[in-house]
Amino acid sequence: MTKAAELKTIDHYINGKVVAGVSGRYADVYNPATGKVTGRVALANASEVAAAIANAEAAYPAWRNTPPAKRAQVMYRLKTLMEQNSDKICALLTAEHGKVLNDAAGELQRGIENVEYACGAPELLKGEHSKNVGPSIDSWSEFQPLGVVAGITPFNFPAMVPLWMWPMAIVCGNTFVLKPSERDPSCMMYLAELALEAGLPPGVLNVVNGDKEAVDVLLSDERIMAVSFVGSTPIAEYIYKTGTSNGKRVQALGGAKNHAIVMPDADLDNAVSALMGAAYGSCGERCMAIPVVVAVGNEVGDALVKKLKAELAVMKVGPGTDVSNDMGPLITKEHFKKVKGYVDLGVTEGAELVVDGRGLVVAGHEEGYFLGGCLFDKVTPGMKIYRDEIFGPVLCVVRAESLQQAMDLIDAHEYGNGTCLFTRDGEAARYFTDNIKVGMVGINVPLPVPVSYHSFGGWKRSLFGDLHAYGPDAVRFYTKRKTITQRWPSGVRETAVFTFPINS
């Protein structure tokens, strides 16, 4: 077994430098393709998180008063540095998450696009002004930062999801404390170093690695004004209830069970290609993945299953460092067992396992957490494999008799994150987009993830809070509006007015 002294240690990033953990607690970091421990990450205790918050609080006054144009210049330089070091960032992603390098590059690009949006801070933070709202009275509003804010991010997008949060929060004038996933922390540590190199003052961005102990400090410390979270629904609900009960503004993005509907008139070949990527890309570990396909009509269902089965037969699964592979491993051994257990359960529940990926062995990586793509047919809404978020390479095919019946299935589910419809019928598409109770909708687009200048978020139990992630909603989440009404005396004494002021 690898000795602790030989392992890479990932500590914390506080006040512009790497700070060694003092709690004495560590978690192993694995290479999912080999199953081997490659490092250990320090798990912060309450005092270490408090130190990060204190440094963010100390950095806040000067950063708040830094002109938005200068804050934006830091983002411009950060964007350039991320592009120049993209190969290293992607290698870190693949080494600890397992996703194929091409997929890592796509994740990073989406993150960079959020930094690009943050570069527009001078425009995004402009207030509103009205002259002479009353006799010699002017009124205007402005958007002021909140103070110290925090982010808690998941393992599945170690670069992109943090980049949804801290660049916009920081460019709005806040300072930030981030707790990334302890399963793949190295990427965020490196991004913090690049932010410092880009000119971000020490203390404006701090990274504390940890587990629930660190999370609970962020949710309870009165110096934290707002918390952003992405993860599973049970944890999102806990984050939202705990944070708001402590007086914080909270946005907590939870789980998903995204459905795709395939209509009889759909371009089936293109739909199948799209569904393969949406269901099995990143090993299904995406909140925008498509784990359920609703085929409208048995003829469509039979043809769809036949084509998906043929595609799965040629899909390449292996280590993410080989860009010829389509899919890499699952993140941990525990998650591998969980996903495999759902496949076992689906068989027990009576679904038809058309393609069984449980026996996959990748030569030279026998200890890696590889599960082949799995395909179920004749899945029904009463099955757990239909209801639960599996978060793995498992696609369930459900049959429906009409578009409305398929939509009713989607609307009845507890999650409302994303969905899509494959059709050539504009009337059906318009009806679907207008009436489906889901936050992000695609027409012939299986992963309708909004671009950086729109906002990301689902409905129902996929989002707790009123504001979505990144885009215009991020500006509103990380700022508070202040309205000022002003008049200068004319030198003539006025009579006291005891009625409510009106403009007349």
Q: Round to the nearest angstrom and report the end-to-end CA distance of the chain.
A: 82
The residue type found at 229 is F
Could you give the C-alpha distances from 219 to 42, 123, 179, 239, in angstroms and in order? Answer: 20, 31, 12, 7
| Residues whose CB is less than 8 angstroms from the CB of residue 302 and which lie 6 or more positions away in sequence, other chains included | none
> What angle do helix axes 160-171 and 186-197 make, rounded to 10 degrees?
30
Sheet containing strand 36-42, edge to edge, reads 8-10, 36-42, 26-31
Q: Where are the alpha helices (DSSP H) in 315-422?
A: 333-349, 384-387, 403-412
Short-list 447, 314, 306, CA closest to 377: 306
- Contact indicator for 97, 335 with CB cutoff of 8 Å: no
| H or E element, residue 176 | strand 175-179
- Tokens at residue 445, please? 């687009």
Query: If you search the block for the tokens 């009463």, which residue do you land on?
Result: 382
Cα separation, 237 vs 465, whole angstroms: 10
Question: Taking CA 181 as the corner, what is the angle to CA 30 and CA 358, rounded to the nearest 5 degrees?
Answer: 50
Q: 3-state DSSP call for residue 41?
A: strand
Phi, psi torsion values for 125, nearest 5 degrees: -95, 5
- Tokens at residue 40, please? 């250990």
Cα separation, 109 vs 145, whole angstroms: 27
Please give the full DSSP string across 254-304, using - where no structure is assigned: -----EEEE-TTS-HHHHHHHHHHHHHGGGG--TT---EEEEESHHHHHHH
Is 396 known to be catalytic? no
Catalytically annotated residue among 119, 287, 374, 420: 287
Cα separation, 8 vs 92, whole angstroms: 13
| H or E element, residue 481 | strand 479-487
| Residues whose CB is less than 8 angstroms from the CB of residue 403 and which lie 6 or more positions away in sequence, other chains included | 261, 263, 296, 428, 431, 432
CA 343 to chain centre: 26
> What angle do helix axes 426-435 and 403-412 make, rounded to 10 degrees?
20
Which positions are catalytic? Answer: 287
